[in-house]
Structure 1
Amino acid sequence: MIDLIEKFYDAFQKLDSEAMTSCYHQEVVFKDPAFGVVKGKDAKNVWRMLCASQKGKDFKVKFYDINIYDDKVFATWEADYIFSKTGREVHNKISAEFEFKDGLIIRHTDRFNLHKWATQAFGFKGWLLGGTSFFKRKLQKQTNALLDKFEKKH
Protein backbone atom coordinates (compact mmCIF):
# COMPACT_ATOMS: atom_id res chain seq x y z
CA MET A 1 0.00 0.00 0.00
CA ILE A 2 2.83 2.39 0.80
CA ASP A 3 4.40 1.62 -2.60
CA LEU A 4 1.16 2.63 -4.31
CA ILE A 5 1.04 5.96 -2.44
CA GLU A 6 4.69 6.62 -3.31
CA LYS A 7 3.87 5.87 -6.97
CA PHE A 8 0.93 8.29 -6.78
CA TYR A 9 3.00 11.18 -5.39
CA ASP A 10 6.06 10.43 -7.55
CA ALA A 11 3.75 10.76 -10.54
CA PHE A 12 2.28 13.99 -9.12
CA GLN A 13 5.78 15.45 -8.83
CA LYS A 14 6.18 14.74 -12.56
CA LEU A 15 2.63 15.98 -13.33
CA ASP A 16 1.91 12.53 -14.80
CA SER A 17 -1.83 12.33 -14.26
CA GLU A 18 -2.22 8.99 -16.03
CA ALA A 19 0.24 7.32 -13.66
CA MET A 20 -1.57 8.99 -10.76
CA THR A 21 -5.03 7.88 -11.84
CA SER A 22 -3.82 4.32 -12.48
CA CYS A 23 -3.53 4.10 -8.68
CA TYR A 24 -7.25 4.81 -8.29
CA HIS A 25 -9.99 2.17 -8.25
CA GLN A 26 -12.75 2.84 -10.80
CA GLU A 27 -15.16 3.49 -7.89
CA VAL A 28 -12.79 5.87 -6.06
CA VAL A 29 -14.17 8.63 -3.86
CA PHE A 30 -11.98 11.73 -3.50
CA LYS A 31 -12.73 14.48 -0.99
CA ASP A 32 -11.03 17.76 -0.17
CA PRO A 33 -12.04 21.29 0.89
CA ALA A 34 -11.72 22.73 -2.62
CA PHE A 35 -13.71 20.14 -4.60
CA GLY A 36 -15.90 18.55 -1.95
CA VAL A 37 -16.73 14.93 -2.78
CA VAL A 38 -15.89 13.71 -6.29
CA LYS A 39 -16.33 10.11 -7.48
CA GLY A 40 -15.08 7.71 -10.15
CA LYS A 41 -13.91 9.23 -13.42
CA ASP A 42 -14.58 12.73 -12.07
CA ALA A 43 -12.10 12.07 -9.23
CA LYS A 44 -9.51 10.95 -11.78
CA ASN A 45 -10.20 14.06 -13.84
CA VAL A 46 -9.44 16.28 -10.82
CA TRP A 47 -5.81 15.17 -11.10
CA ARG A 48 -5.79 15.33 -14.91
CA MET A 49 -7.04 18.91 -14.73
CA LEU A 50 -4.64 19.95 -11.96
CA CYS A 51 -1.63 18.42 -13.71
CA ALA A 52 -2.58 19.95 -17.08
CA SER A 53 -2.98 23.39 -15.47
CA GLN A 54 0.51 23.26 -13.90
CA LYS A 55 2.57 21.95 -16.85
CA GLY A 56 5.37 24.35 -17.67
CA LYS A 57 4.84 26.30 -14.46
CA ASP A 58 6.83 26.53 -11.25
CA PHE A 59 4.94 23.76 -9.43
CA LYS A 60 6.51 21.66 -6.70
CA VAL A 61 5.18 18.77 -4.63
CA LYS A 62 6.91 16.96 -1.80
CA PHE A 63 5.53 14.12 0.29
CA TYR A 64 6.60 12.43 3.50
CA ASP A 65 5.44 10.69 6.69
CA ILE A 66 3.71 7.83 4.89
CA ASN A 67 2.33 5.46 7.54
CA ILE A 68 -0.09 2.54 7.77
CA TYR A 69 -2.63 2.37 10.58
CA ASP A 70 -5.67 0.07 10.67
CA ASP A 71 -5.61 -0.75 6.93
CA LYS A 72 -5.40 2.94 6.01
CA VAL A 73 -2.41 4.86 4.77
CA PHE A 74 -1.74 8.39 5.93
CA ALA A 75 0.65 10.82 4.26
CA THR A 76 1.61 14.45 4.38
CA TRP A 77 2.27 16.39 1.23
CA GLU A 78 3.03 20.00 0.38
CA ALA A 79 2.47 21.94 -2.81
CA ASP A 80 4.09 25.20 -3.87
CA TYR A 81 2.60 26.99 -6.87
CA ILE A 82 1.26 30.24 -8.25
CA PHE A 83 -2.53 30.47 -7.98
CA SER A 84 -3.46 31.30 -11.56
CA LYS A 85 -6.56 33.35 -10.75
CA THR A 86 -4.63 35.92 -8.68
CA GLY A 87 -0.95 35.30 -9.47
CA ARG A 88 -0.26 34.86 -5.76
CA GLU A 89 2.18 32.30 -4.33
CA VAL A 90 0.63 29.44 -2.39
CA HIS A 91 2.25 26.94 -0.05
CA ASN A 92 -0.30 24.35 0.99
CA LYS A 93 0.33 21.57 3.53
CA ILE A 94 -2.08 18.68 3.19
CA SER A 95 -2.84 15.61 5.32
CA ALA A 96 -3.99 12.69 3.18
CA GLU A 97 -5.82 9.51 4.12
CA PHE A 98 -6.19 6.53 1.80
CA GLU A 99 -8.31 3.37 1.86
CA PHE A 100 -7.92 0.47 -0.57
CA LYS A 101 -9.93 -2.07 -2.54
CA ASP A 102 -8.55 -4.63 -4.99
CA GLY A 103 -5.04 -3.24 -4.48
CA LEU A 104 -6.03 0.29 -5.57
CA ILE A 105 -7.08 3.49 -3.83
CA ILE A 106 -10.86 3.44 -3.23
CA ARG A 107 -11.06 6.44 -0.89
CA HIS A 108 -8.73 9.46 -0.83
CA THR A 109 -9.35 12.32 1.58
CA ASP A 110 -7.16 15.42 1.62
CA ARG A 111 -7.44 17.83 4.54
CA PHE A 112 -5.92 21.29 4.73
CA ASN A 113 -6.58 24.63 6.37
CA LEU A 114 -8.88 26.29 3.83
CA HIS A 115 -8.70 29.66 5.58
CA LYS A 116 -4.90 29.67 5.40
CA TRP A 117 -5.02 28.59 1.75
CA ALA A 118 -7.59 31.29 0.89
CA THR A 119 -5.49 33.97 2.58
CA GLN A 120 -2.49 32.99 0.45
CA ALA A 121 -4.49 32.60 -2.77
CA PHE A 122 -6.73 35.68 -2.44
CA GLY A 123 -4.99 37.98 0.05
CA PHE A 124 -7.18 40.15 2.28
CA LYS A 125 -10.43 38.92 0.72
CA GLY A 126 -9.34 35.33 1.41
CA TRP A 127 -8.38 36.20 4.97
CA LEU A 128 -11.74 37.86 5.50
CA LEU A 129 -13.96 35.19 3.93
CA GLY A 130 -11.79 32.05 3.66
CA GLY A 131 -12.97 30.59 6.97
CA THR A 132 -16.66 30.80 6.13
CA SER A 133 -18.99 28.10 4.83
CA PHE A 134 -20.12 30.62 2.19
CA PHE A 135 -16.56 30.76 0.80
CA LYS A 136 -16.20 26.96 0.88
CA ARG A 137 -19.48 26.44 -1.01
CA LYS A 138 -18.58 29.08 -3.58
CA LEU A 139 -15.09 27.63 -4.09
CA GLN A 140 -16.46 24.11 -4.53
CA LYS A 141 -19.02 25.39 -7.03
CA GLN A 142 -16.27 27.14 -9.01
CA THR A 143 -13.81 24.23 -8.94
CA ASN A 144 -16.50 21.77 -9.98
CA ALA A 145 -17.54 24.09 -12.83
CA LEU A 146 -13.89 24.12 -13.97
CA LEU A 147 -13.87 20.32 -13.75
CA ASP A 148 -17.04 20.10 -15.86
CA LYS A 149 -15.50 22.43 -18.45
CA PHE A 150 -12.29 20.36 -18.48
CA GLU A 151 -14.25 17.11 -18.92
CA LYS A 152 -16.21 18.50 -21.86
CA LYS A 153 -12.93 19.37 -23.64
CA HIS A 154 -11.26 15.99 -22.98
Structure 2
Amino acid sequence: MHPNAELVTRFYDAFKDKDYRTMQACYHDEAEFQDEVFTLKGKEIGAMWHMLCERGADLSLHYHHVEADEQRGSARWRAGYTFSTTGRYVLNKLRAEFEFKDGKIYRHRDRFDFWRWSRHALGVPGWALGWSQMLRDKVQATADRNLRRFIEGNPEYKE
Protein backbone atom coordinates (compact mmCIF):
# COMPACT_ATOMS: atom_id res chain seq x y z
CA MET A 1 0.00 0.00 0.00
CA HIS A 2 1.30 3.46 -0.90
CA PRO A 3 2.29 5.58 2.16
CA ASN A 4 -0.37 8.16 1.27
CA ALA A 5 -3.02 5.43 1.18
CA GLU A 6 -1.78 4.40 4.63
CA LEU A 7 -2.13 8.04 5.73
CA VAL A 8 -5.76 8.17 4.52
CA THR A 9 -6.46 4.82 6.21
CA ARG A 10 -4.92 6.10 9.47
CA PHE A 11 -7.11 9.22 9.20
CA TYR A 12 -10.36 7.26 8.81
CA ASP A 13 -9.42 4.69 11.44
CA ALA A 14 -8.85 7.59 13.85
CA PHE A 15 -12.18 9.11 12.84
CA LYS A 16 -13.95 5.80 13.58
CA ASP A 17 -12.32 5.92 17.04
CA LYS A 18 -13.11 9.65 17.45
CA ASP A 19 -9.38 10.23 17.86
CA TYR A 20 -9.28 13.83 16.65
CA ARG A 21 -5.62 14.30 17.65
CA THR A 22 -4.49 11.59 15.24
CA MET A 23 -6.77 13.09 12.59
CA GLN A 24 -5.20 16.51 13.14
CA ALA A 25 -1.70 15.03 12.84
CA CYS A 26 -2.55 13.77 9.36
CA TYR A 27 -2.82 17.34 8.02
CA HIS A 28 -0.10 19.63 6.75
CA ASP A 29 0.17 22.94 8.68
CA GLU A 30 -0.96 24.81 5.55
CA ALA A 31 -3.80 22.40 4.72
CA GLU A 32 -7.10 23.40 3.16
CA PHE A 33 -10.44 21.61 3.61
CA GLN A 34 -13.73 22.07 1.83
CA ASP A 35 -17.08 20.31 1.81
CA GLU A 36 -20.66 21.42 1.20
CA VAL A 37 -20.72 23.20 4.58
CA PHE A 38 -17.17 24.24 5.57
CA THR A 39 -14.24 25.97 3.88
CA LEU A 40 -11.30 25.85 6.31
CA LYS A 41 -7.54 26.30 6.54
CA GLY A 42 -4.80 25.20 8.92
CA LYS A 43 -5.82 24.67 12.54
CA GLU A 44 -9.49 25.30 11.76
CA ILE A 45 -9.59 21.85 10.13
CA GLY A 46 -8.41 20.06 13.25
CA ALA A 47 -10.84 22.08 15.36
CA MET A 48 -13.72 21.01 13.10
CA TRP A 49 -12.82 17.32 13.47
CA HIS A 50 -12.40 17.82 17.23
CA MET A 51 -15.85 19.40 17.46
CA LEU A 52 -17.49 16.70 15.31
CA CYS A 53 -15.83 13.87 17.25
CA GLU A 54 -16.75 15.40 20.61
CA ARG A 55 -20.36 16.10 19.66
CA GLY A 56 -20.97 12.92 17.64
CA ALA A 57 -22.16 10.70 20.48
CA ASP A 58 -23.69 8.11 18.16
CA LEU A 59 -21.36 8.64 15.19
CA SER A 60 -20.69 5.56 13.10
CA LEU A 61 -18.33 5.59 10.16
CA HIS A 62 -17.41 3.24 7.35
CA TYR A 63 -14.86 3.88 4.61
CA HIS A 64 -13.71 2.00 1.54
CA HIS A 65 -12.00 2.35 -1.84
CA VAL A 66 -8.95 4.14 -0.46
CA GLU A 67 -6.58 4.93 -3.31
CA ALA A 68 -3.51 7.15 -3.34
CA ASP A 69 -0.28 7.85 -5.15
CA GLU A 70 2.47 10.41 -4.58
CA GLN A 71 0.26 13.46 -5.24
CA ARG A 72 -3.42 12.54 -5.03
CA GLY A 73 -5.80 10.19 -3.32
CA SER A 74 -9.46 9.42 -2.79
CA ALA A 75 -11.80 7.43 -0.59
CA ARG A 76 -15.49 6.80 -0.21
CA TRP A 77 -17.03 6.98 3.22
CA ARG A 78 -20.33 7.25 5.00
CA ALA A 79 -21.22 8.62 8.37
CA GLY A 80 -24.32 7.94 10.42
CA TYR A 81 -25.23 10.26 13.28
CA THR A 82 -28.04 12.16 14.95
CA PHE A 83 -28.18 15.77 13.78
CA SER A 84 -28.24 17.69 17.05
CA THR A 85 -30.40 20.59 15.83
CA THR A 86 -33.37 18.40 14.87
CA GLY A 87 -32.68 15.06 16.56
CA ARG A 88 -33.04 13.37 13.15
CA TYR A 89 -30.78 10.51 12.10
CA VAL A 90 -28.56 11.23 9.09
CA LEU A 91 -26.76 8.78 6.85
CA ASN A 92 -24.39 10.81 4.72
CA LYS A 93 -22.46 9.28 1.81
CA LEU A 94 -19.30 11.12 0.76
CA ARG A 95 -16.43 11.00 -1.69
CA ALA A 96 -13.15 12.41 -0.44
CA GLU A 97 -10.39 13.74 -2.67
CA PHE A 98 -6.92 14.47 -1.31
CA GLU A 99 -3.71 16.18 -2.35
CA PHE A 100 -0.56 15.45 -0.38
CA LYS A 101 2.52 17.47 0.56
CA ASP A 102 5.44 16.43 2.77
CA GLY A 103 3.71 13.15 3.68
CA LYS A 104 0.57 14.90 4.98
CA ILE A 105 -2.87 15.83 3.70
CA TYR A 106 -2.51 19.22 2.03
CA ARG A 107 -5.91 19.59 0.37
CA HIS A 108 -9.01 17.65 1.35
CA ARG A 109 -12.32 17.98 -0.49
CA ASP A 110 -15.38 16.04 0.67
CA ARG A 111 -18.32 15.91 -1.70
CA PHE A 112 -21.85 14.88 -0.83
CA ASP A 113 -25.39 15.48 -2.04
CA PHE A 114 -26.47 18.47 0.02
CA TRP A 115 -30.18 18.05 -0.84
CA ARG A 116 -30.08 14.40 0.26
CA TRP A 117 -28.28 15.43 3.48
CA SER A 118 -30.79 18.21 4.17
CA ARG A 119 -33.76 15.85 3.73
CA HIS A 120 -32.26 13.54 6.36
CA ALA A 121 -31.09 16.28 8.73
CA LEU A 122 -33.97 18.75 8.44
CA GLY A 123 -36.96 16.70 7.28
CA VAL A 124 -39.67 18.52 5.32
CA PRO A 125 -37.85 21.90 5.25
CA GLY A 126 -34.77 20.14 3.86
CA TRP A 127 -36.87 18.32 1.28
CA ALA A 128 -38.56 21.55 0.21
CA LEU A 129 -35.53 23.87 0.30
CA GLY A 130 -32.45 21.63 0.24
CA TRP A 131 -31.81 22.50 -3.39
CA SER A 132 -31.75 26.27 -2.65
CA GLN A 133 -28.71 28.45 -2.11
CA MET A 134 -30.63 30.18 0.69
CA LEU A 135 -30.76 27.02 2.81
CA ARG A 136 -27.16 26.14 1.95
CA ASP A 137 -26.03 29.63 3.03
CA LYS A 138 -27.98 29.32 6.30
CA VAL A 139 -26.50 25.91 7.10
CA GLN A 140 -22.99 27.15 6.26
CA ALA A 141 -23.38 30.26 8.44
CA THR A 142 -24.70 28.22 11.37
CA ALA A 143 -21.91 25.65 11.07
CA ASP A 144 -19.28 28.38 10.85
CA ARG A 145 -20.72 30.16 13.90
CA ASN A 146 -20.73 26.88 15.86
CA LEU A 147 -17.11 26.17 14.91
CA ARG A 148 -15.99 29.71 15.86
CA ARG A 149 -17.66 29.30 19.27
CA PHE A 150 -16.00 25.93 19.72
CA ILE A 151 -12.58 27.40 18.88
CA GLU A 152 -13.11 30.42 21.17
CA GLY A 153 -14.19 28.19 24.05
CA ASN A 154 -11.31 25.75 23.70
CA PRO A 155 -7.89 26.84 25.00
CA GLU A 156 -6.24 24.26 22.73
CA TYR A 157 -6.85 26.59 19.77
CA LYS A 158 -5.73 29.85 21.32
CA GLU A 159 -2.55 31.19 19.75
What's the TM-score bracket when you normalise by the shorter of the two chains? over 0.9
Q: Is the CA contact 2:16–2:61 (under 8 Å) kept in the aligned structure 1? A: yes
Question: How has the CA–CA distance of structure 1 residues 127 and 70 changed in structure 2, closer, same or farther, with 3 Å as cutoff?
Answer: farther
- Work out the CA distance in 2 between the residues paired with 1:74 and 1:47: 18
**What RMSD in Å do the two structures reach over aligned CA positions?**
1.1
What secondary structure sits across from 1:93 in the alignment? strand
- Work out the CA distance in 2 between the residues paired with 1:68 and 1:106: 13
1:48: how far off? 0.7
2:10 maps to 1:22? no
2:68 maps to 1:68? yes
The within-5 A match list for 1:39-58 is 39-54=41-56, 57-58=57-58
2:6 maps to 1:6? no
- Work out the CA distance in 2 between the residues paired with 1:153 and 1:109: 27
- Work out the CA distance in 2 between the residues paired with 1:124 and 1:17: 33
1:68: how far off? 2.7
Count matched residues: 151
1:69: how far off? 6.0
Residue segments in structure 2 that go unaligned for 5+ positions in a row: 155-159
Residue in structure 1 matched with residue 98 of structure 2 by the alignment? 98
1:119: how far off? 0.3
Residue in structure 1 matched with residue 153 of structure 2 by the alignment? 153
- Work out the CA distance in 2 between the residues paired with 1:30 and 1:109: 6
TM-score (norm 1): 0.95
Q: Map Cα deviations across residues 2-61 of structure 1 (whole Å, 9 max, x no partner).
A: 0000000000000010000100001110000011x110111111101101111xx22100
Residue in structure 2 matched with residue 134 of structure 1 by the alignment? 134
TM-score (norm 2): 0.92
- Displaced runs of 4 or more, over 4 A: none
Residue segments in structure 1 that go unaligned for 5+ positions in a row: none
- Work out the CA distance in 1 between the residues paired with 2:115 and 2:68: 29
- Work out the CA distance in 2 between the residues paired with 1:58 and 1:40: 27
Residue in structure 2 matched with residue 89 of structure 1 by the alignment? 89
- Work out the CA distance in 1 between the residues paired with 2:118 and 2:44: 24
What secondary structure sits across from 2:66 in the alignment? strand
1:135: how far off? 1.1
How many percent identity over aligned positions?
40
